[in-house]
């Protein structure tokens, strides 16, 4: 227990120190983790030694990451991406494998060369996606292309695991079986295995689509937050277990589950619950990669390993450049696409290990290659950095022009609160073609509105993590339509503090909370019932046979004066006497201004239309 | 019997004696519709379809309004801008207003004599209303010189106001019954400068 806690403490503490430093230096969190791993590893200050188990455990972070990525992709979007996935991904894996195999043939037997070629064709989902997300590049054309290739690679791991044992030439060391969780289906006849595998995928799709809604709705209505987190984790872990049992990639299963949940109202809630676990696991995973770098081996074979690393990255880079040309990726995005995927990946560790135990590859082939893969992974964030420095300089000039073409409907709007007020605001925005991300924390309300076709997400908008996963960092505008006074103000505080550039327009329940929001620097505040009061008043006057246009003008004048008055009252809000005096004085003036039966003096309404003889 | 549409535009009706009196007299006339623009569209959001349907259903379209700044109240400009669509009012396929009569009934602050080259306002009513004449022409409408009640600033005596009101009713009745000599009327400075001469004999 103590040993475990100590290990945990070392990992967490080193991350807590290294990542902020790396971020401050503009290096990104992945590099921070990797460096932290090197420092605390056996070749640094030697605080941790055998990291292989940790690495395997924390690899689960990749699964969670793919679950999260899946939730960002609606099935329709995924279907649209089928060509890039199969086309770009397929050609990347096939061509890279062939080239690497061809070169390896000069040094090792063909079975081993094929194995090495296949394994090295894969890139690092963990490092690349983490870095792309951190830099906000996932939504770009290059980001999508990169993701397509990574997704295909994840798929390709499955046939590789199945095919590698066919290349066995060496004596099998130790037990070769990959221990399945509950039972080993490899003992069953082929057709049964296929049926079981397909049913497992179907199960994930069907459960993800139909069962999760009611389950999460029930859990959400209980209102115990950690139970929701527990259910979310259970969902991801369960899916992974199921996939592993039938011999599929757990990352793929989690990805599919994520895709099925991309339409769910609980998407943002799930996202913000899983996100910290994913982050921590991946962080520790990166640390363990850093710690696993065998510097003795590297030192003794420095020329070989550096050569391998350079060769690997150059071959993959060339293949990617060619693919980006064939598939007509925008010329500005080609270089990012090519360097993003030029490294070896964490799957290489798994597959090398697998090849060792299955007697496909000997240790003296595996060791230098693993080092080369690790170094290439280490270099990737640095390459991103270099690319950023070189390329953004060039594109900076064109940035301004691009801004103008942003369509109104592309603007990102978050609507917090979808009750009586929010529903109408949302309908209004939607009918104008602006699609806000709508958050509401009443699970019953959300499911009813979903039936009407509103894209509403369950979640408490006053929670920072939920705001974050709803995209507050990238949003243009936050609309607050929350009736509860305290929660509305908390949301204003939160977004002012963490997203100072996010524009806010908000409703306020009364004058007091309006003042509090003004204290927080919000300009666009609308008292919740004021608009209704004005239209009621206007209609009332009309029913009293006051001319409709006059009633309308009076309403407008009253509204304008009230706005001016609010600003004055705000200044006097802490001095009760002058506040009340001013209030009464203003109302007297307003009465004079708007008096309907004021015969000798024209009221504000029709002063303008009573021109006098210009000769007078 | 022709149908008359009065598009009435006055933003401060409660302060207007002349227009109120004129509009009141139309009550007694059959086949006449008063469309109070400011009352129907206080927020200026004009229902174009409704307005076009109204125009289509009538033969004579009158704009009754005060002569603000030698022109019209704001909503009437908005009306012209929105309702007179290409393909409906004008253009190779816009014939919906063709042959209908266009008339303005205006109340002007200063006396009629000031609307002369030698007068204080320098320009005549006919000159100042040329934009509307051109509008009518573009829509292939038959334009008539405006029906003018002038001298509103000094305040009209009760009998003067009554005379104008009677004249207005007479004009509307004659228009409705097709008793106006359109050619002769088109040559007048204002429609009511010599009302009896433009109304066909037998009335």
- Condensed to tens digits (0 to 9), the pLDDT of residues B99-117 reads 999 999 999 988 888 999 9
Residue of B nearest to A542 (CA): B39
Task: Using alpha carbons, list the distances in angstroms from residue B68 to A190, B36, B79, B112.
Answer: 92, 17, 16, 15
Please give the pLDDT value at position B90.
Answer: 94
Banded model confidence at residue A386, pLDDT cuts 50, 70, 90: confident
What's domain A410-594's superfamily in CATH? Answer: NAD(P)-binding Rossmann-like Domain (3.40.50.720)
A19-178+191-393 adopts what CATH topology? Na+/H+ antiporter like fold (1.20.1530)
Compute the average pLDDT of residues B162-188.
93
Which one of B8, B15, B69 would you mutate to disrupt binding with A, by most A Cβ within 10 Å of its Cβ?
Answer: B15
- Least confident piece of the model among A240-249, B31-40, B58-67: A240-249
Contact B12 A610 (CB under 8 A): yes
Contact A606 B15 (CB under 8 A): yes
Please give the pLDDT value at position A32.
Answer: 84
pTM of the predicted protein model: 0.65
Please give the pLDDT value at position A90.
Answer: 92
Q: What is the arrangement of strands in the sheet containing A524-527, beginning at the earlier edge strand? A: A456-458, A437-440, A413-416, A477-480, A503-508, A524-527
CA distance B42 to chain A (A): 5
Tallying the residues shown for chain B, one arrives at 203
Compute the average pLDDT of residues A97-117.
91
- Buried b vs exposed e over A252-282: b needs ≥16 C-beta within 10 Å? bbbbbbbbbbbebbbbbbbbbbbbebbbbbb
Alpha helices, H only, A405-484? 420-431, 443-451, 464-469
Averaged pLDDT of chain A? 82
* Residue range(s) occupied by CATH 3.40.50.720 in chain A: 410-594
User: Cβ contacts of residue A371 below 8 Å, gap of 6+?
Assistant: A293, A294, A297, A298, A305, A308
* Residue range(s) occupied by CATH 1.20.1530.20 in chain A: 19-178+191-393
Contact present, A245 and A200 (Cβ < 8 Å): yes
Contact A613 B109 (CB under 8 A): yes
Nearest to B11 among A549, A551, A615 (CB): A549
- Of A320, A282, A317, the closest CA to residue A145 belongs to A320
CA distance B163 to chain A (A): 23
Averaged pLDDT of chain B? 92
| String of DSSP letters for A94-115 | HHHHHHHHHHHTTTS-HHHHHH
A145-180 tens-digit pLDDT: 898 898 888 778 777 877 887 888 776 554 444 444
User: Cβ contacts of residue A40 below 8 Å, gap of 6+?
Assistant: A10, A11, A14, A46, A47, A48, A287, A291
Predicted complex: ipTM over 0.95: no
More confident residue, A426 or A193: A426
Per CATH, the architecture of B4-198 is what? 3-Layer(aba) Sandwich (3.40)
Domains of chain B, residue spans: 4-198
Please give the pLDDT value at position A119.
Answer: 93
Banded model confidence at residue B41, pLDDT cuts 50, 70, 90: very high
Please give the pLDDT value at position A402.
Answer: 41
Contact A547 B109 (CB under 8 A): no
Compute the average pLDDT of residues B117-137.
93
Task: Using alpha carbons, list the distances in angstroms from residue B193 to B61, B114, B145.
Answer: 20, 15, 10
A191-204 tens-digit pLDDT: 777 888 888 888 88
- β-partners of residue B33 are B5
Q: Does A551 touch chain B (CB under 8 A)?
A: yes
Contact present, A481 and A421 (Cβ < 8 Å): yes
- Least confident piece of the model among A250-264, A552-566, B15-29: A250-264
Please give the pLDDT value at position A403.
Answer: 41
**A332 pLDDT higher than 80:** no
């Amino acid at each position: 227990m103590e040993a475990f806690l100590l290990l945990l403490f070392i990992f967490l503490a080193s991350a807590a120190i290294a990542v902020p430093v790396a971020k401050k230096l503009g290096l990104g969190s992945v590099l921070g983790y990797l460096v932290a791993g090197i420092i605390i590893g056996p070749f640094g200050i030697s605080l941790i030694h055998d990291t292989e188990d940790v690495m395997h455990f924390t690899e689960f972070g990749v699964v969670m990451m793919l679950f999260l990525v899946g939730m960002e992709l609606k099935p329709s979007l995924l279907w649209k991406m089928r060509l890039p996935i199969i086309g770009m991904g397929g050609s990347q894996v096939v061509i890279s494998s062939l080239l690497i195999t061809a070169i390896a043939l000069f040094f090792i037997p063909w079975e081993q060369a094929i194995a090495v070629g296949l394994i090295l064709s894969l890139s690092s989902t963990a490092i690349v996606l983490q870095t792309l997300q951190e830099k906000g590049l996932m939504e770009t054309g290059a980001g999508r292309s990169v993701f397509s290739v990574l997704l295909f690679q994840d798929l390709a791991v499955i046939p590789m695991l199945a095919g590698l044992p066919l290349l066995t030439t060496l004596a099998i060391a130790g037990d070769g079986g990959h221990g399945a969780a509950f039972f080993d289906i490899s003992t069953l006849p082929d057709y049964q295995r296929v049926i079981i595998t397909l049913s497992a995928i179907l199960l994930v799709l069907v459960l993800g689509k139909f069962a999760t809604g009611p389950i999460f709705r029930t859990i959400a209505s209980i209102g115990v937050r950690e139970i929701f987190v527990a259910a979310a984790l259970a969902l991801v872990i369960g899916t992974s277990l199921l996939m592993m049992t039938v011999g599929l990639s757990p990352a793929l299963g989690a990805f599919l589950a994520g895709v099925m949940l991309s339409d769910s109202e609980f998407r943002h809630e799930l996202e913000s619950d899983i996100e910290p676990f994913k982050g921590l696991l991946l962080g520790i995973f990166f640390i363990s990669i850093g710690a696993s770098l065998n510097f003795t081996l590297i030192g003794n074979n420095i020329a070989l390993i550096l050569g391998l690393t350079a060769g690997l990255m150059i071959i993959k880079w060339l293949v990617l450049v060619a693919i980006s040309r064939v598939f007509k990726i925008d010329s500005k995005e080609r270089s990012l696409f090519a360097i993003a995927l030029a490294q070896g990946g964490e799957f290489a560790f798994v597959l090398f290990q697998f090849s060792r135990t299955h007697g496909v590859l000997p240790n003296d082939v595996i060791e230098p290659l693993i080092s080369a893969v690790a170094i290439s992974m280490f270099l990737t964030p640095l390459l991103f950095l270099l690319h950023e420095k070189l390329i953004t300089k060039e594109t900076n000039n064109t940035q301004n022009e691009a801004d103008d073409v942003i369509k109104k409907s592309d603007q990102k709007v978050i609507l917090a609160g979808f009750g009586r007020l929010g529903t109408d605001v949302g309908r209004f925005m939607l009918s104008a073609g602006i699609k806000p991300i709508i958050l509401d924390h009443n699970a019953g309300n959300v499911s009813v509105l979903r039936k009407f076709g509103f894209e509403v997400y369950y979640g408490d908008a006053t929670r920072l993590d939920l705001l974050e996963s709803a995209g507050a960092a990238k949003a243009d505008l936050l609309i607050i339509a929350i009736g509860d006074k305290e929660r509305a103000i908390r949301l204003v505080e939160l977004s002012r503090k963490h997203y100072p550039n996010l524009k806010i327009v908000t409703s306020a329940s009364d004058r007091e909370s309006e003042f509090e929001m003004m204290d927080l620097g919000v300009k666009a505040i609308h008292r919740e019932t004021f608009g209704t009061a004005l239209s009621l008043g206007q209609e009332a006057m009309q029913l009293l046979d006051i001319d409709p246009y006059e009633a309308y003008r009076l309403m407008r004048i009253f509204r304008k004066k009230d706005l001016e008055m609010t600003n004055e009252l705000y200044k006097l809000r802490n001095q009760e006497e002058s506040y009340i005096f001013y209030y009464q004085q203003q109302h007297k003036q307003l009465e004079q201004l708007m008096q309907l039966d004021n015969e000798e003096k024209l009221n504000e309404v029709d002063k303008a239309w009573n021109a006098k003889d210009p000769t007078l | 019997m022709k149908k008359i549409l009065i598009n009435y535009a006055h933003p401060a009706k409660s302060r207007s004696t002349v227009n109120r009196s004129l509009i009141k007299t139309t009550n007694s006339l059959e086949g006449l519709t008063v469309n109070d623009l400011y009352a129907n569209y206080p927020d200026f959001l004009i229902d174009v379809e409704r307005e076009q349907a109204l125009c289509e259903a009538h033969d004579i379209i009158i704009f009754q309004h005060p002569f603000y700044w030698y022109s019209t109240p704001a909503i009437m400009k908005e009306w012209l801008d929105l309702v007179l669509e290409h393909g409906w009012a004008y253009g190779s396929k816009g014939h919906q207003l063709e042959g209908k009569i266009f008339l303005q009934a205006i109340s002007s602050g200063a006396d009629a004599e000031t609307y002369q080259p030698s007068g204080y306002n320098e320009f005549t009513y006919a000159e100042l209303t040329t934009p509307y004449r051109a509008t009518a022409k573009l829509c292939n409408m038959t334009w008539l010189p405006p029906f003018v009640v002038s001298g509103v600033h000094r305040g009209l005596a009760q009998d003067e106001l009554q005379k104008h009101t009677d004249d207005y009713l007479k004009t509307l009745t004659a228009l409705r019954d097709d008793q106006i000599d359109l050619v002769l009327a088109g040559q007048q400075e204002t429609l009511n400068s010599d009302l009896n001469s433009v109304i066909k004999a037998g009335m």
